[in-house]
Amino acid sequence: MKLFYTSKSQYARIVRVAIIELNLTDRVKLQEVTVRDRNSELLKYNPAGKVPTLATDDEFILSETRIITAYLNHLNPDIKIVADYSDAFSQQLEGITTAFIDGISTWIRERKFRTETEQSPTIIELEKSRALRILDYFEKIADQLDQTPKLAHITLASALGLEIRLPEFQWRQNYPKLAQWYDEFVQRPSLQATKLEA
């Protein structure tokens, strides 16, 4: 199996963490690729051109973080990373954390990939307020977050880690319980081994 990734991708990071937590490092080769590049090696495999992409041993090409993580989890079902219907609370958190990381990613793309005149204040404001609502939610339920490497927790940590990339996304001061949860969670070797670059 081969995982196509970029070291900057907050989504690919989730899958890289899952590979480590599922003890699958010997079974999944990692190949760093470029994105938004018409000469990218990735385009030979996945017309969507997005990371993460997983090429399975039986030659399927999987994209989308949750689909890839669920596939990897079925290879080691003793460890439960992706929630099923028996754990509706974790499924709830998976949905909200995905909206969180998607929104912050949109906000970052506005700031980093568009010129100042192209940037949309409307989109930035929308994503900022979405992020703040979700931060409020997690601060309120911080007591219900544990330190297990579930997909929702990994996604939340990967999203919060984007603080290094977006100067406006400085959440720690106003969300102390969440900061405490995050600071402990990112000590896991899987998170340490996959730190995001600025």
Residues that bind ligand GSH (CB under 6 A): 9-11, 35-36, 49-52, 64-65
* Least distance to ligand GSH, CB of residue 32, Å: 12
Residue 101 identity (one-letter amino acid): I
The nearer residue to ligand GSH, 31 or 142, going by C-beta atoms, is 31
The nearer residue to ligand GSH, 52 or 161, going by C-beta atoms, is 52
CA gap 147, 145 in Å, rounded: 7
* Least distance to ligand GSH, CB of residue 41, Å: 13
Q: How far is CA 112 from the centre of its chain?
A: 18
* Least distance to ligand GSH, CB of residue 88, Å: 21
* Least distance to ligand GSH, CB of residue 156, Å: 14
The nearer residue to ligand GSH, 79 or 108, going by C-beta atoms, is 108
116-150 b/e with 16+ CB inside 10 Å = b? eeeeeeeeeeebbebbeebbeebbeebeebeeebb
The nearer residue to ligand GSH, 10 or 97, going by C-beta atoms, is 10
* Least distance to ligand GSH, CB of residue 66, Å: 6
The nearer residue to ligand GSH, 107 or 175, going by C-beta atoms, is 107
- Burial of 53 per CB tally in 10 Å (0-12, 13-18, 19+): buried
Answer yes or no: are the C-beta atoms of 99 and 116 closer than 8 Å.
no
Look at the block and give the residue holding tokens 């689909």. 67
CA angle 11, 95, 82 (to 5 degrees): 70
